[in-house]
Chains A and B, each alone.
Chain A
Amino acid sequence: MPNAINVGVVAYDPKVVTIWEGIKDYFTQNQLETDFVLFSNYDAQVEALLKGWIDIAWNTNLAYVKVYRKTGGKCGVLAMRDTDVGFTTTIVAGKASGIERIQDLKGKRFALGSRDSGQAAILPQYFLKQNGINPEKDLQLTRFDLDVGKHGDTGTSEVEVLKAVASGEAQAGAIGDQYWARALTENLPEASKVRAIWTSPGYCHCNFTIRTKEDEQRFARWTEILLAMDYNKPADRRIMDMEGLKRWIRPQMDGYRVLFEAVDDLRFFND
């Protein structure tokens, strides 16, 4: 569609197509042509945004940080999910591990998710350091580098972290709070073998990133329509349940600061 607003989306799961066909229909019903472009990884999506091949990128926090750095802070953000605010990392420990507080982790076997997962690798490493634990020196790390390039979206590495802690392969590990809540509500057998011992400060997760703040006005209507999606309407609810939100909200940028610090501290981007 030549006049459509093109949104880049990383296809971390087949359901992404279902979700975005739904969102596309939703925008069409609201008389604003929108299409989606699938990418297999966030680096490619970020490149496409920077080169102007897409208008908006549905980015993880890490992809957003990358765009921010590449644009020298000129990029803008249109919206995010309610669930993208106050995101936390949960440290879980085996019930038999004797670990009750974060300080008890020293010298223990610790599991981390994919190296490009904000919630299961980058941020927990940074938070541990802030709490006086040097992950490289004070812990025996097990890393589950799965689906690298998708920034932890698939959740597979968090599944492995929880399994490792439940089986005793690791004594503790880091996962996102949403995976922890899901493991508990779905009564996963692993969830009963571990307990949460620490919750990180809140941070932000995904957002709709645009190349330049100056374009925020150009996409104002797109943003308004998105924000009007209503969880208490059946058709909207179907999409929102799949995308994991109850409400789209305006950006809250404070929640990204900690990831900037973490990325700098870990020298994550070598560019």
Chain B
Amino acid sequence: MDIASCSRQLMISDFSTTSIDALNLSGSDGLFLLVSRALDRLKPGDIVEISSDNPSVDHDLPAWSRFTAHRYLGKTSTNGRAVHRIEKGTAARILTDRDLDWNNHAKITDGRFDTRSWLVGRTALIREKALPSDGFAPRGAVVETGSPEFPFDVLERTQAWNESAADFYDQARTGYWDASHDIPWNQLVPLDAELERAICQLMTFLAENEYSALYVPAKWIARIHPHFAETILFLSTQVSDEARHIEVFVKRALANGGGLQFSSASTQASLKSLLDQEDFIAASFLLSVLGEGTFLDLLRYIERGAPDAVTREIARRTRIDETRHVHFALAHIRHALRTDLKLKDTLRRAITERASVLSGVKGLNPLVEESLVILAAGGLSPQNLPEAIRARGELYKTMHENRVRRLITIGFADREAEELSELHTPNFM
């Protein structure tokens, strides 16, 4: 064998030929799909042979080949059938330097596919820093080079991801309830007017607080990179929980002959300062650990003191949701603290700065404070008031103790936890 024919042999063997049968298909009914898929598996220079019984293909295939930058090599006839040949061109359909995932089997147990179990293949690779150009592509997908850069500004894994988020997300979905049907609305009974007014004031207060608890995670959903999908999914359940809470609190205020009551400037100022926070973990800390954490005690107090089954059930159900939010935030912060040694400083600063912004807010909306007493007293009967005032004092004390406990869980020293808890807004949230 001479050198020329040897190198020709090599050239021939470098390129493969694949055959497909297009039966009677033409360009208008699926031919190109078959050919495209066959070409996708080939490299530039490889050849696909298409057997066809449709004479239109003589015209459709050359036009399409030019249109898609492949080379139409011509037609031969074999056993009375046309055989067209196309050489794959060099233009890539998708520009990328990443490999496709394939052959993944996520674990499904007893017919259940837990979200945590989707951590297989490339979906399990959590980057230390997400790529802005990965945009809305689900983690693990092959993203085309040249995709636009998205303006997400939380890109760090330490800020945005934790391994328990998937579990909290699953819990949120199984705990879903419906404010229209799952509250025993038909058990409402007429109440003493002062008591009803107090409940309506508390519902107004709760609803406005829950607006902040909806808007804060919603704001961060828009800013956290979708690469940290579990966090985004969980926060979206938080948003949806808060929507339901707003709904149910407003409904309670309107259900029994009362109405929405007062919203104070101090409450608004306190809640606005949560929305103004520009660090995700700090925002999550202030809202969920301190704010929603304090709310757990408030909701338990309302549940205990509620004179009617409706208010009681509302407080119980919302408290269960809020507990999940608190635990998610605690897990998230503990996870972040493992790698971010300066995080504790950030959190400390977040509390003190918020306290200084809110230095003009000297206390809780007095109408809310009074309502807490009226609720515990079952109305304005003078004989019940001293005990009710004591109960409210107990509530504040419990709130403080539980805040301290949570701050210690995160890793603050006892003394510091005490001080920081004292700095928390008197508005509870």
Contacts and interface: CB of A to CB of B under 8 A. Distances in A.
Interface residues of B, number: 24
A92 B378 CA distance: 87
A198 B55 CA distance: 10
A99 to B, nearest CB: 12
B61 to A, nearest CB: 9
Contacts of A185: 27, 32, 64, 67
Given A181-B64, A234-B146, A238-B146, A199 B27 contact: no
Contact of B63 (A90, A232, A238): A90
Contacts of A180: 59-60, 63
Interface string A215-242: 0000000000000000110110110000
Interface residues of A, number: 30
B28 A191 contact: yes
Contacts of A234: 95, 145-146
B67 A178 contact: yes
Interface string A119-141: 00000000000000000000000
B95 A232 contact: yes
Interface string A60-103: 00000000000000000000001100111010000000001000
A185 B66 CA distance: 13
A184 B27 contact: yes
A177 interface: yes
A83 B58 CA distance: 19
A100 B95 CA distance: 41
A124 to B, nearest CB: 14
B259 interface: no
Interface in B85-114: 89-92, 95
Nearest to A245: B69
B26 interface: yes
Contacts of A181: 27, 60, 63-64, 66-68
A184 B95 contact: no
A237 B62 contact: no
A88 B67 CA distance: 11
Contacts of B60: 180-181, 184, 196
B69 A82 contact: yes
A192 interface: yes
A191 B55 CA distance: 16
A238 B145 CA distance: 12
A4 interface: no
A182 interface: yes
A253 interface: no
Contacts of B66: 83, 86-87, 177-178, 181
Interface centre among A184, A187, A191, A238 (most CB of B within 10 A): A184
A195 interface: yes
Interface in B325-377: none
Interface in B1-36: 26-29, 32
Nearest to B54: A195
A246 interface: yes
Given A195-B56, A196-B59, A199-B62, A237 B95 contact: yes
Contacts of B91: 231-232, 246-247
Contacts of B89: 246
Contacts of B27: 181, 184-185, 191, 196
A35 B62 CA distance: 36
B28 A246 contact: no
Contacts of A44: none
B146 A237 contact: yes
A266 interface: no
A86 B89 CA distance: 15
A178 B146 contact: no
A235 B146 contact: yes
A199 B29 contact: no
B301 to A, nearest CB: 59
Contacts of B59: 90, 177, 180, 196-199
B58 A192 contact: no
Contacts of A246: 69, 89-91
A184 B92 contact: no
Identify which of B28, B56, B58, B64 gathers the most chain A CB atoms within 10 Å of its CB.
Answer: B28
A196 B56 contact: yes
Nearest to B58: A199
Given A199-B62, A231-B90, 6 more contacts: A177-B67, A192-B29, A199-B58, A199-B59, A231-B69, A232-B91
14 contacts: A83-B69, A90-B63, A177-B63, A181-B60, A192-B29, A195-B56, A197-B56, A199-B62, A231-B90, A231-B92, A232-B95, A237-B95, A246-B91, A247-B69
Interface of B: 26-29, 32, 55-56, 58-60, 62-64, 66-69, 89-92, 95, 145-146
Q: 9 tightest A-B contacts by CB?
A: A234-B146, A196-B59, A181-B67, A177-B63, A184-B27, A246-B69, A181-B63, A246-B91, A195-B56
